[in-house]
Amino acid sequence: MRPSMSLVRSVQRVARRGYSTQSVPERKVAVLGAAGGIGQPLALLMKLNPLVSHLALYDIAGTPGVAADVSHINTRSEVKGYAGEDQLAQALEGCDVVIIPAGVPRKPGMTRDDLFNINAGIVKSLTTAIAKYCPHALINMISNPVNSTVPIASEVLKKAGVYDEKRLFGVTTLDVVRAKTFYASKANVPVAEVNVPVVGGHAGITILPLFSQATPKANLSDDYIKALTKRTQDGGTEVVEAKAGKGSATLSMAYAGALFADACLKGLNGVPDVVECSYVQSSITELPFFASKVRLGKNGVEEVLELGHLSDFEKEGLELLKPELKSSIEKGIKFANQS
């Protein structure tokens, strides 16, 4: 059965949305963990992005099939699949952006910290290879717990002598995506017009949506704001429980990951005023890593933006999240320096 022409046009519009029709530079993007639950839909979405000229799909196994499948899509990028550690160097060489969704997903009852021992080792290993084969690439860290895996990556890069804090990002875009969706529903405004900054970290109470700064403005009650905050913080758990042991928030995470990677590519290409929330090295609080609005540019982070005015509820949330986020950062640094 052939898809309707309206559907085809709709998909083509999505693929083109926000992109210039002028010629754009050659950009190589790698997805590490491309055969997994997040990696496969993320590979598909990056194939649709006309800013990508070369798409490298890496995993320990399964990537030749994913690459063959995705490569048949009639968009700009050339796709290659790489499987096994002996092919990781080829996947990384010449990369402008490296997206890392590798690792195990959450299951019901698991916290992000339960993932730590497995995913921390994976992140350390992959970052060691990035330091060697594409030290100047922008790293988009999706592997959880992001609050710890970004500090791990920073320590690995420091040891290799190639750390540039402007090029390492924890992807917190899914928190923003959720906050926008939930806010639009309660405020009864078109979701495409909504903007909500989300700051802090990327787990539980460390996720702090700033609904007081949300646009368009809506006079939501304090109880509504508290409920929206809680739902944004627990969004991952909501999906894990709904999938009942058969996965985590893979599709929405792939979408969020693709959005953030697109913003990084636009920044690299010199598009002005690209601002996204991300978990980066920061001095806007006393914590060494913190998620806030970041202006992206040709070198990665151009500017880490201040938090702006916070409501009393948000100020309280900020103080509550700090000890947990501090602990997660220290845990990552300690792990990275153990060996």
Q: Indicate the annotated binding residues for NAD(+).
A: 33-39, 59, 119, 142-144, 253
β-bridge pairing 289-297 and 300-304 = antiparallel
| DSSP assignment string, 280-296 | EE--SSSSSEEEEEEEE
Rounded Cα gap, residues 327 and 232, in angstroms: 21
From the CB of residue 47, how many other CB atoms can be counted at a distance below 10 Å? Answer: 24
What does the angle CA 104 – CA 108 – CA 113 come to, to the nearest 5 degrees?
A: 55
Please tell me what DSSP assigns to residue 60.
Answer: S
Query: Which segments are annotated as binding site for substrate?
Result: 106, 112, 144, 178
Q: Which amino acid is at 24?
A: V
Query: Which segments are annotated as binding site?
Result: 33-39, 59, 106, 112, 119, 142-144, 178, 253
Beta bridge partners of 28: 54
CA proximity to 98, closest of 140, 45, 155: 140
Contacts of 158 (CB under 8 A, 6+ apart): none
From the CB of residue 257, how many other CB atoms can be counted at a distance below 10 Å? Answer: 25
Which listed residue (54, 72, 136, 202) is catalytic? 202
Helix, strand or coil, per DSSP, at residue 247: coil
What element of type H or E holds 2? none
User: Known catalytic residue: 202?
Assistant: yes
**Spatial contact of 189 and 218, defined as CB atoms under 8 Å apart:** yes
Rounded Cα gap, residues 253 and 172, in angstroms: 9
Helix, strand, coil tally for the chain in percent (to 5)? 50, 15, 35
**Spatial contact of 226 and 208, defined as CB atoms under 8 Å apart:** no
Kindly report whether the peptide bond that precedes residue 145 is cis, defined as omega within 30 degrees of 0: yes
Kindly report whether the peptide bond that precedes residue 209 is cis, defined as omega within 30 degrees of 0: no
Active centre residues (catalytic):
202
